[in-house]
């Protein structure tokens, strides 16, 4: 019986580490993601309701206007789709990360395969200008 309990614990622990993935952020707080469909690299993509009077909408409006004033290309939409693009563990993690950002606080911001929920203007500018 004791061996069975130990075996169950080992299997459960292995399953947890295999299925779970930790989300690690870069120096700007962004995570690696699958980009929304049809979105090109080199443009900051802001996903938030357009003309929204709520606080989140106002944050998105401010972010968009500040980035444009800095000459940073911006595309904004109130909807977007992400699809898993491969079958590797890394592909699945990027997809899960994108879904995580989309479920978090708006605006969701995507830049060159990286994303963050509700970033500051400074974080977005730093990520946009980051050298890989």
Measured distance CA(19)–CA(109) in Å, rounded: 26
Residue labelled with tokens 């614990």? 9
Residue 15 has pLDDT above 50, yes or no: no
Is residue 26 a contact partner of residue 91, using CB atoms and an 8 Å limit?
no
Q: Are 63 and 76 in contact (CB under 8 A)?
A: no
* Beta-bridge mates of residue 76: 46
Render pLDDT for 35-91 as a digit per residue (tens, 0 to 9).
888 777 899 999 998 877 788 889 999 999 999 999 999 999 988 778 877 788 988
Cα–Cα distance for residue pair 42/128, rounded to 1 Å: 8
Q: How far apart are CA 42 and CA 112, in angstroms?
A: 6
Fold designation for 24-129:
Glutaredoxin (3.40.30)
Q: What are the start-end ranges of the E strands in 20-129?
A: 31-32, 44-47, 74-77, 108-111, 114-117
End-to-end CA gap in the chain = 53
| Percent of the chain with pLDDT strictly greater than 70 | 83
pTM over 0.85: no
Residue 37: asked if its preceding bond is cis (omega within 30°), the reply is no
């Amino acid at each position: 019986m004791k061996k069975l309990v130990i075996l169950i614990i080992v299997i459960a622990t292995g399953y947890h580490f295999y299925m779970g993935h930790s989300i690690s952020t870069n120096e700007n707080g962004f995570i690696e993601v699958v980009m929304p469909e049809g979105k090109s690299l080199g443009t900051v993509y802001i996903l938030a309701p357009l003309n929204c009077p709520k606080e989140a909408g106002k944050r998105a409006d401010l972010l968009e206007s500040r980035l444009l004033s800095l000459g940073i290309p911006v595309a904004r939409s109130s909807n977007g789709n992400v699809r898993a693009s491969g079958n590797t563990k890394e592909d699945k993690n990027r997809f899960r990360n994108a879904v995580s950002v989309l479920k978090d606080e708006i605006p969701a911001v995507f830049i060159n395969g990286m994303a963050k929920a509700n970033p500051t203007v400074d974080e977005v500018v730093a990520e946009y200008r980051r050298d890989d």
